[in-house]
Amino acid sequence: MRALFTLILTVIGFWAVEFALFRTGAYYTILRPDSSTGSVETYIHNELKRTRHNPHEVLTIGDSRMGFLPRYANEIQAETGYEYASIALGGATPRDWYFMLRGADPSANRYSAIVVAVEDYEDSEIGEDFSIRAADLSYVIGRLKYSDIPEFARSFHDPELEWAAVRGGLLKGLIYKRDFQDFLLHPTERIDMAKLARKDSYLWFYNYAGTNQSMEGVAVDFNNRTITVPPGFTDAQKAAYQLRFLAPPLPYTGMRTAYLHQWLGKIYEHYRGSKTRLVFLHLPRGPFIRPDQPALNPHSSVRELAGRPEVILMPEHIFDSIERPGLFIDQMHMNGPGSAEFSRILAKQVSHTLDAL
């Protein structure tokens, strides 16, 4: 009985420490801000504390291709009537977006609209199965509740990852372990870094302007299936361009559709019945447009969601003017001037659409 009592006290003590450190927000004060977990928490923290100047707010979300810079959109706020913000994060997936939006807008009532940037409206396959993206657990560990664990774990279509998600969801310290070990090695530097990020990172992100580097001089010949690059471009860059523009399109399997139905559907459910409109946006396709664009998929995730009264599917070609080499830094990402133009067009088009409802 004494041994059993000692075991019970040990388990309770371990859980109490786990809860106090990782489930109260306390660890955020020393979390490395540029880690995957730290980036998510920093973006959410910044958005929650951001001073709001306009009752009409629009929040955007996406991954690194979502080159939306709110500063340029807000410079024309007198014209649009809306204030814009963003929690788009490189490497974040639709599964992550759901938890990020729930963290930034827990009551689903802070915004006139949520703008979700997607690669295309057809759910075309991308060569990666996001359902087994292990990094998602690190991205959203700070957002997971006990009640999230069953569905979150089952969404990993791999038994090993599913079990890892269960373990990590129950004992968050398992996911934070490496970050905590790094903190113990350099506690003073970490505390200073985290404190500075909490104080100033919003302005770092807001004032970011991007680079002027571009793909000017690159040429793609779709007929002869060749790519030429000017001096200064590397073989690795050329190989990436060939993969993006000349590799055969992947056959449609429905795998991506199933994944997006689940997680974009979860975002929709979070906002269903609220005043917030869910706006889907087709990103610029790139600096060169392949002739073999994906076929219309009437049962894609966003097209089916667009049948709901709270959902808006923006026209696909509003960013055609940006699809040129001078406005891209690589085969997928806009450079500084491209992001500035993209941000202004987005603000005007989304605002006009919302006002017309």
Helices 187-206/36-49 angle, 10° precision: 60
**Domain at 124, CATH number:** 3.40.50.1110
Within 8 A by CB and 6+ apart from 202, the residues are: 46, 49, 50
240 assigned to some structural domain = yes
Q: Is residue 222 part of a domain?
A: yes
Domain count, the chain: 1
Handedness of CA 91, 96, 99, 104 (dihedral sign): positive
206 belongs to a structural domain: no
**Residue 123 structural domain:** 31-129+213-355
Q: Which residues fall within 8 angstroms of residue 330, CB to CB, at 6 or more apart? A: 215, 237, 240
Please check whether residue 178 lies inside any domain of the structure: no
Any domain includes 192: no
Query: pTM of whole model > 0.85?
Result: yes
pLDDT tens-place values along the chain, 357 residues long: 766 666 565 555 556 666 667 777 788 899 999 999 999 999 999 999 999 999 999 999 999 999 999 999 999 999 999 999 999 999 999 999 999 999 999 999 999 999 999 999 999 999 899 999 999 999 999 999 999 999 999 999 999 999 999 999 998 888 988 998 999 999 999 999 999 999 999 999 999 999 999 999 999 999 999 999 999 999 999 999 999 999 999 999 999 999 999 999 999 999 999 999 999 999 999 999 999 999 999 999 999 999 998 999 999 999 999 999 999 999 999 999 999 999 999 999 999 999 998
Residue 18 lies in a domain: no
In a domain, 49, yes or no: yes
* Residue 252 located in a structural domain: yes
Q: Which of 202, 176, 203 lies closest to 190, judged by CA?
A: 176
